[in-house]
Amino acid sequence: MVQEQHMVASTDSLGFQQLIENISSVVQQSRSNVATSINRLMVEAYWQIGKYIVEFEQKGECRAQYGSALLTRLSKELTLKMGKGFSRPNLNHMRRFYLLYPICQTVSSKFSWSQLCLLMQAEDELERKFYEKECYEQKWNVRTLKRQMDSALYLRLAASLDKEGILTLAKEGNLVQTADDIVKDSYTLEFLGIKEEEHYSEDELEQRIIDNLQMFLLEMGKGLTFVRRQYPIALGTKTYHCDLVFYHRILKCFVLIDLKRAGVQHEDIGQMNMYLGYFAKEENVADDNPPIGIILSHYRDDLLVEYATYGITNQLYVSKYELYLPNKEELRQIVNKTLEE
C-alpha cells in the first residue's frame, strides 16, 4: 500500500513539474510575442514620423527646404508635448529611416530600432545589405552588430574579392561552403584588450582568447564550436599540443589553430601539417571532411609561407592577427576601386 502511494506521488510530482513547464513555456512565448509586437509597432511609428517630416520638407519638391532648423524646432515642440524620445538626432534617424527603407514592412519585424540605427550608419548600400543579411540570419544582438561593423567585417571580406564576389557577398551574406570561405587574411582581435606595445606571451594570448571565446568565435566566422585548448597529440615518446581545436558544423571538419606571438617560421608550418595528418588519420570519423589548419601570427612573411607550404596538399593557412581595428577608409578605397573596375 505504501509503495503504491509512493508511486502515485511520484507520478503526480512528474505531472506537476510538466504542468509548471507548460505554463512557463506559454508565459515566456507570450512575453516574447508582446516584445516583438511592441518593437514592430514602434519601428513602424518611427517610419511614419520620418515620412511626415520628409513630406513636410519637400512639399512636393525634390529638395528639402528646411534642413536641421526644422528638426531642432520640431524636437523642442514634440518634447514639450510628448516627453522624451524626440531629440534632434533621433528625429534625424527617423527621417533617414524613411528615406533608406521606403517599404517599412521589409525590416520592421526583423530588427530592433537600435539595430536599425546602427545599420543606417553604413553609407554604402552594399555594405548595409550585407550587415542586414548577417544580422538577421545569425541573430546578432546590438552589441555584436556594432562590433562587426566597427571591425569592418564587410570591408575586410570584400577587399579580397572581385566585383562579382563583392556583389554576391552583399546579396547573400558570408556563405560558407569551402575552407577558403572561413579563412581571412587578417583577423582583428582588439576585444582581447592587448595594446600594440604591450609584451605578452603565446600562453597569455591563448588565455585571453579563452576568456573572450564568444567574441573570438564571432571573429572566426559562423559554424565553429569549441573543442579543447592544448589538444594533446601523442607521437611515439613525445606529446605535442595544438593550441586551440574547434569543430566546424557546416563544413563538418576539425579546425586547428596555432598561435604565434611574432612571425611564423617554416618549422611552424611543418608542425601544423603534422597535426593535420594526425587528425585526418586518428581523430576523423567516417563523415568528417579533411581538417583545416590555421596559424595565426602577428607578422607574416608571404614569400616564406609560399615556399614552406609548397607541395602541401592539406588545407593549411597562415593568417595575421591585428590588435587594433583596421583602417576602414583604406579598405573602402580598395573595395570601391574593385567595383569601379
pLDDT tens for residues 312-336? 988 999 999 988 888 889 999 999 9
Return all residues near 272 (Cβ < 8 A) that are at least 6 apart.
256, 258, 293, 295, 316
Residues 208, 192 contacting (CB under 8 angstroms): yes
Specify the pLDDT at position 281. 94
Taking the model in full, what pTM does it have? 0.78
Comparing 166 with 57, the larger pLDDT belongs to: 166
Comparing 4 with 300, the larger pLDDT belongs to: 300
Pick the closest to residue 118 from 88, 85, 140 (CA basis).
140
Work out the percent of the chain whose per-residue pLDDT is above 70. 90
Distance, CA of 235 to CA of 95 (rounded, Å): 65
Grid coordinates 579580397 are at which residue? 160
pLDDT tens for residues 116-144? 999 999 989 999 999 999 999 989 999 99
Comparing 82 with 165, the larger pLDDT belongs to: 165
Specify the pLDDT at position 209. 93
CA distances from 250 to 77, 117, 221 (A): 53, 31, 11
pLDDT at 11 over 70: no
Helix (H) or strand (E) holding 126: helix 125-137
pLDDT at 288 over 90: yes
**What phi and psi, each to the nearest 5 degrees, are found at residue 5?**
-65, -40
pLDDT tens for residues 86-108? 888 899 999 999 999 989 888 98
Work out the percent of the chain whose per-residue pLDDT is above 90. 50
In sequence order, what DSSP letters do the residues of 262-281 get, joined into one string? EE--HHHHHHHHHHHHHIII
pLDDT at 289 over 90: yes
Average pLDDT over residues 52-73: 70
With cut-offs at 50, 70 and 90, classify the pLDDT of residue 2. very low
Mean pLDDT, rounded, of the chain: 87
Average pLDDT over residues 226-235: 94
pLDDT at 242 over 90: yes
pLDDT tens for residues 188-227? 999 998 877 678 888 999 999 999 999 999 899 889 999 9
Specify the pLDDT at position 175. 85
With cut-offs at 50, 70 and 90, classify the pLDDT of residue 32. low
pLDDT at 64 over 80: no
Distance, CA of 261 to CA of 186 (rounded, Å): 14
What the block records as the C-alpha cell of 230 is 592544448
> What is the residue type of 149?
M
Residues 183, 292 contacting (CB under 8 angstroms): yes
Whole-number CA gyration radius for the chain: 26
